[in-house]
Copies of this chain bind each other. A is one copy, B any other.
Amino acid sequence: MKREIFIGDVGIGGNHPVSIQSMTNTPTGDSEATLAQIRALALAGCQIIRVSVPDGDSLAGFKKIIAHSPLPVVADIHFDAGLAIKSIEAGAAGIRINPGNIGGKERVKTVLQAARDHKVPIRIGVNAGSLEKKYLHLNGSKAEVMVQSVMDKVKFFEDNDFLDIKISLKSSSVRETVTAYRLMDKACDYPLHLGVTEAGTIFSGTVKSVLGIGSLLLEGIGNTIRVSLTADPVEEIGVALEILKTLGLRDGGVEIISCPTCSRTSVDLIAMARQVEKRLASIQTGHKVSVAVMGCEVNGPGEAREADLGIAFSQRWGYIFKKGKMIEKVAPESAVNRLVELVQLETGSKT
């Protein structure tokens, strides 16, 4: 088990569930725009927000953001130890630095002192694209070198009696990212922040992030995740939530199981599944509710039977199943309404 740290009230590591974070892309100096984005992210399910503080001008905005943010705020700092210290003093719930680009060991010590004084955890964040030069020519795979770079920094933190750490080591290559985190997971017991960096646009970035983050979580590696997309950050939260739901790491909500349709399908199942998904998306449930929408008699009854509620179509009828029993036969045209209604009744969300 990993050590436990807290970013605001969100526990990471220990027995805490995997948490979701994102990063604002509004100018930090524009605190109103940034707060609006944070609120939208919080509503979507984001639990921790990171805001970059690139210069003194953004520091004033950062203070306002902290004062009004519904989520704990992490400051993302590069190059300037003074900004890291000022962000901590401003009330950041955490900071993220790459100790390799913050201006030498003495400067890092001053940051550690400030973080210790304010009980603020630090993420050591190393990216394949910004490794210090001295690591570029080491022997070993890129993943091994990234881990070496992190471990050197961890040792320095430990030597300075600072253990309030989480770690990330991201690459834009999914294979490299997965390999690096696997090695890191064995090398120390600090909680891990997972992500694939510079993952790309919403389509290719989703595929890369799901594959990199998801396959690590499937192995039990990772304590907090950030999906990176070159897109509105709210999109990142949807993908992150779907990864956690898919792996059974997030309770609640409705899971739609639907078949890919084939020539056996006699109803417009694509439209029906979309409608059911859309109408049930906002239902809050304490435990996961699975709803199957199946086009034919081959796998339909089996999947519908295993779901909490489900429908399987024959040529003429939709057969509704509830926890393994066929309970109703409906005409295709009233199938969506009836299925949604039954799910709402089942989950107590019928108004």
Q: Which residues of A contact B (CB under 8 A)?
A: 23-29, 34, 51-52, 54, 58, 76, 78, 101, 127-131, 172, 174-175, 178, 197-201, 203-208, 210-211, 214-215, 218, 228-233, 236, 238-239, 242-243, 246-248, 255-265, 269-270, 273-274, 277, 292-294, 298-300, 302-303, 305-306
Contacts and interface: CB of A to CB of B under 8 A. Distances in A.
A200 B230 contact: no
Contacts of A24: 262-263
B129 A303 contact: yes
Given A210-B211, A259-B228, A270-B230, A129 B299 contact: yes
Contacts of A248: 175
Contacts of A274: 201, 230
Given A218-B178, A256-B204, A302-B127, A263 B34 contact: yes
B131 A242 contact: no
A58 B262 CA distance: 13
Contact of A257 (B78, B198, B265, B298): B198
A246 B208 CA distance: 6
A236 B260 contact: yes
Nearest to A211: B214
The 6 closest A-B pairs by CB, nearest first: A129-B302, A215-B215, A129-B303, A228-B260, A211-B214, A129-B299
A76 B262 contact: yes
B211 A230 contact: no
A257 B129 CA distance: 11
Contact of A201 (B54, B218, B258): B258
Nearest to A25: B261
Contacts of A239: 207
29 contacts: A26-B263, A27-B263, A28-B263, A52-B264, A58-B263, A78-B298, A101-B298, A129-B300, A129-B306, A130-B302, A131-B302, A175-B247, A178-B218, A197-B303, A198-B260, A198-B294, A199-B260, A200-B256, A200-B277, A201-B277, A203-B242, A204-B256, A206-B206, A206-B210, A210-B210, A211-B215, A228-B259, A230-B270, A230-B274
Contacts of A174: 218, 246-247
Contact of A211 (B23, B29, B204, B247): B247
Given A129-B299, A302-B130, A200 B273 contact: yes
A300 B198 CA distance: 9
Contacts of A131: 302
B210 A261 contact: no
Contacts of A243: 207, 211
A224 B229 CA distance: 28
Contacts of A28: 263
In this complex, which of A58, A247, A273 has the most chain B Cβ atoms within 10 angstroms of its Cβ?
A273
Nearest to A290: B172
A34 B263 CA distance: 9
B204 A207 contact: no
Contacts of A258: 198-201, 205, 230
Contacts of A210: 206-207, 210-211, 214
A259 B230 CA distance: 6
A198 B292 contact: yes
A146 to B, nearest CB: 12
